[in-house]
A and B are shown apart, each in its own frame.
Chain A
Amino acid sequence: MVSQDFLQDYVEEVREHLIDMEKSLLLLEQEGVDQEQIAQVFRAAHSIKGASACMGFEGLTGLTHELESLIAAVQHSAQAVPPAGISLLLDCVDLISKAMEHVKQNGREPAIDSSLLENLHSAFHKEGLVPQRARPEPSAGTSEMIETAPPVSSEADDDSAASHVDHAPFEEEDEELLGIFVSSFQENMIRLFDILTASAESGLSDDDRKALLELSGKLTSSARYMDYQPIVAELEQWAKSLESDEARDISRRKAMEALETHALSFRSMVPQLAIPRFVEPASPAAPPPIQEEDQELFAIFLDSFQQNLSRLAEAISAPGPDKVSLENASELTESLIQSSKYMDYTVLVELLEEWQGYLVAFKDMDAKDLGPLRGKLSSIAGKIKEQLTELNLPGFEDQRQSFSELLDEEMDLVFSVGNDLAEADFPVPAQAQEDHRSPALARPATDLGTYMAKERLAPASEETPQSSAATLRVDAQKVDQLLNQVGELVVNRSEFIQTVTFFRDMVRELTTRGLLPKHELRRLKLLNFRMNESTQSMGRIANDLQASVMRIRMLPINQLFQRFPRIVRDLALKLGKHVELMVDGGETEIDKRVLEQMYDPLVQFIRNAIAHGIESPEERRRAGKPETGVISLSANHAGDYVVVEIADDGHGIDTRKLRDLLLSRNAVSRPELERLSDEEIVYSIFMPGMSTYDKVDGAAGRGVGLDVVKQNVEHMNGTVEVESEAGRGVKFVIRIPLTVAIIRALLVREGDQIFTLPLTSVTEILRHRPEETHSIEGFKVITLRGKTIPLVDLGNLLGMAAQQADDGGRFVVIVSTSFREVGLVVDGLMGEREVVLKSIENNFQPVEGFSGATILGDGRVSLIVDVSALLRMRNIATGGHMHTSEGGQYVN
């Protein structure tokens, strides 16, 4: 019954609303009474309800409806929501969130547990927030439909969003009232138009304006009575434009246009509000009597006109006003104009030219500002239609008949597109029409507008209100596939470059040998030159393409950050601590896959900070710190990396305890321990089983968290740094490559194979000098600036056949792995480059010790070495001996 596609969209949509809801609830908890946030919660609940009703999920619809009513009650009472109520509301968020999991997996909604709601109800009741049923039960079904018509949501820009603020009440009305409202509204609107029509072309007289204002006042008050805030806002805006001084110069036509667009947007808000088509005053250029035409010519004209028109309809009805189809449409319009000109149909030409003018304006503008133009287009389309049907010719009745039928069809298509577009964009943002309207009209300076603007929390969305409107939800797999193909293209490009180089060398050789006559050689050289040029440009395109595709995958890290306030709140509450989370740099963009993999590590750090870092309020007071601890989370770009910092202002890491622990576990010898600085000791928290916390509880303390986190981060080719200051707090700095798809790598040769080492793990490269290596307990080591670093032969590590005995000419690549640096001895270095990371598609046997593979310029496969994993494998293989030995001596 429910389509999977819709299901996916539905779940995503609900999740977004849940995130909004949670955010607002948390803000509410902090700030107490905050009407904006309550309104946000209400909207979220309402949107979820609407979406669930659409999907036919009655349980969820019921739940959210109840929720909505409860929130409405709070909204009306203007009281603070009690803390218990917030917790219960958050539980509701969780409940719906769980229900979404269920829906996603089973395609059905789970049974909804209503006990939560009852609790909520009674909690509110206790606080005197007795939910009064403000409005009658919505007549199910039909009322929901209204809402589904234009999918207007947060995606619209600020102005439009303003008009949605109170979208909600629309469905709650009883039909009779709505009927009365609609008919009176229509009546008044028509009278408005009548006055405008009757007024002088040049400008509005004071009497006219007074009458208009009076009427619009009536309209406003009836709209206010119905609680149709957006309509009220628009009407007020219009009235204001009439009142203002500049408006004295407003021509009737402009006031009319403005009203027309308003009328259209009213209609899109309440479909019943379709104002019967108002007619423009008899145009001075009334359709001139069509002269008797050459019949044949007329037939040709009709034919071509109709053809072009149908193509025009096709071009315009394409989804979304993309540049290409608009270009197409304006070309077609041009040919329509030409043929009409040829036929001397001046009225038609005028109308078409007007249409064309708007199309061109359409084209030149950003997709967001098209609202008024669209309304305009549709009205011109109507006029063209009228003109065309008036082309009446003797002897052509039959043909005209069929033509006008066809025409109707096409025009309806064009026309309806105009309408749809107008509806889609409805509340008219005005910049688009600057030359047509007075600035006063153009300014959407309603209270609602500013109200919404304030509510947008993310600064980024204020700067670029357009960016969100054109979002496209695409299956991540499709993007991955695209990325894969682009990766192939990039590899293919380097193959091309190699081929061209090969060709060039060949030509050179031919030249020196002098085997070919000069003119033949020149042709070859020319060919080579051209090949080179086109290869270069292909390379550029491939690079750009790759960059673009990578950008598709980039998401603001806020998507991750916004999940943390809840975690902080819950855990702090549980542990009886006061913690505030400060988030910074949420707009930093990061690859989606990295984003997903970052979640667990970050949660672990945050849990650690709350459980171990931040002290209890009493302790903090004693230490002279504010009772509320602060965890700050920030993100920013640094080159090809995203740096995420998690800092707390707790008591820091107890290094003495760590030293004791290291000793007691025999992990480090006493002299070694004394050599290590506190900064270095801190890193031992990443060792498995290290915990300075005496108690083990649900949050943390088992000492397993951080080593896993470090591994995960390293798996993404990232690094973790930690800084601790006693009494001042701990700061973790995570550096992660922007994308996991492309990494910088060092290519090394071992035997006849080329291996890839992620550059993030490489710290230094040395020439291998066998005479400088020492042997400790059978292990080769070198001393580098006072540090002892074990040497491992890459070939040995990989279990490859024994190398040539000669160690000369080999290299040592110092790689940093978990807790230690290791020198990898390799046969040769093949340079550093960017490689496209690919997973090994292996369903036969798992491949260990490699994090993936990449394809080299010559098409060969090179494995990406996961040094830590390899060492772990070897450690197990050597019975742990190496582990203790290395662990003992080479802890940083």
Chain B
Amino acid sequence: MQLNTLSTHATRMREESRQMMQLVSFRIGHEEFGVDILMVQEIIRFTTITPIPNATQAILGMINLRGRIIPVVDLRWVLRIGGGEDKTINRNARILIIELDTHVTGFVVDSVSEVMKVPVAEIEPTPSLVTSSISSAYISGVVKLTQRLIILLDFKRILKPREAREVQNLGIQAALLDHENMQDD
């Protein structure tokens, strides 16, 4: 009886350790990020983006995704990553199409590196030492690999529900100010 319990416990432990998460990793500037592959509908090449006049800077514009018109968000800008002044898009740039609650949004990243499997147990929930330049509000954890640090982004929080948008706008404005200050420095 007791032995039995022990063994099931052991199995569970093993299973837990074996539980893997599949990540899509991508780069923006010098940072490497990751997102749960289940949230990624697809990854497309950089395409013509139609800018939206009067929209906030976070939105680069609209793209035509096989007949659907979806907004494209400048992730670099949202995450306050510097070095994006050079507006020429490099040929590795991709648009991550993220699906959340039936809404589809595109995010521009510098490049997509790979799809990797990471044991769930290895994801550290607290972003203890992440670069100070990235707003920690959007980070759900980090994965440390040899020589690499992958920051897991929480797209749910980036794409806040409508009610919270006001707050988020303020946040973006604050971020914008920070951004400018940073550049001034």
Contacts and interface: CB of A to CB of B under 8 A. Distances in A.
Contacts of A843: 100-101, 103, 105, 159, 161-162
Given A488-B67, A844-B73, A799 B54 contact: yes
B159 A798 contact: no
Interface string B39-68: 000000000101111111011011110111
A838 B54 CA distance: 19
B12 interface: no
B69 A861 contact: yes
A148 interface: no
A793 B169 CA distance: 28
B70 interface: yes
Interface string A594-627: 0000000000000000000000000000000000
A589 B77 CA distance: 49
B67 A845 contact: no
Interface string A823-858: 000000000000000111111111111100101000
Nearest to A794: B53
Given A484-B67, A855-B67, A860-B48, A844 B59 contact: yes
A485 B50 CA distance: 21
Given A861-B62, A861-B64, A863-B62, A844 B71 contact: yes
A798 B54 CA distance: 6
A860 B50 contact: yes
B50 A862 contact: yes
A873 B104 contact: no
Contacts of B104: 841
Residue with the highest number of chain A CB atoms closer than 10 Å, among B50, B66, B162: B50
B31 to A, nearest CB: 21
Nearest to B73: A844
A848 B169 CA distance: 15
A281 interface: no
Contacts of A809: none
A800 B52 CA distance: 10
B53 A798 contact: yes
Interface in B59-108: 59, 61-64, 66-71, 73, 100-101, 103-105
Contacts of B51: 753
A371 interface: no
A845 B50 contact: no
A487 interface: yes
A241 B70 CA distance: 68
A842 B64 CA distance: 13
Contacts of B64: 855, 859-861
B76 to A, nearest CB: 15
B105 A840 contact: no
A491 interface: yes
A840 B71 contact: yes
B33 to A, nearest CB: 18
B14 to A, nearest CB: 40
B59 A487 contact: no
Contacts of A841: 68-71, 103-105
Nearest to A856: B64
Contacts of A844: 58-59, 71, 73, 105, 159
A841 B97 CA distance: 13
B55 A845 contact: yes
Nearest to A489: B67
A887 to B, nearest CB: 23
Contacts of B162: 843
Contacts of B53: 798-800, 849, 863
Nearest to B66: A488
B165 interface: yes
Residue with the highest number of chain B CB atoms closer than 10 Å, among A485, A844, A849: A844
Contact of A845 (B66, B69, B103, B165): B165
A484 B103 CA distance: 16
A454 to B, nearest CB: 49
Residue with the highest number of chain A CB atoms closer than 10 Å, among B67, B73, B101: B67
Contacts of A491: 67
Nearest to B48: A860
Residue with the highest number of chain A CB atoms closer than 10 Å, among B56, B64, B70: B64
A72 B176 CA distance: 73
Nearest to A840: B69
Contacts of B159: 843-844
Contacts of B55: 845, 847
A873 B103 CA distance: 26
Given A487-B67, A843-B159, A873 B54 contact: yes
A848 B67 contact: no
Contacts of B48: 859-861
Given A845-B71, A873-B54, A840 B101 contact: no
A847 B71 CA distance: 10
A798 B169 CA distance: 20
Given A861-B50, A862-B50, A485 B63 contact: no
Interface string A856-879: 000111110000000001000000
B59 A845 contact: yes
Contacts of B54: 798-799, 848-849, 873
Nearest to B172: A845
B97 to A, nearest CB: 11
A438 B100 CA distance: 67
A863 B52 contact: yes
A853 B62 contact: yes
Contacts of A845: 55-56, 58-59, 71, 165, 169
B69 A853 contact: yes
Contacts of B56: 845
A849 B62 CA distance: 15
Given A840-B62, A847-B52, A863-B52, 16 more contacts: A491-B67, A753-B51, A798-B53, A841-B70, A841-B71, A841-B104, A842-B70, A843-B159, A844-B71, A844-B73, A845-B56, A849-B53, A855-B69, A860-B48, A861-B48, A861-B61
Interface of A: 484-485, 487-488, 491, 753, 798-800, 838-850, 853, 855, 859-863, 873
Interface of B: 48, 50-56, 58-59, 61-64, 66-71, 73, 100-101, 103-105, 159, 161-162, 165, 169
5 contacts: A842-B105, A844-B73, A845-B55, A845-B59, A862-B50
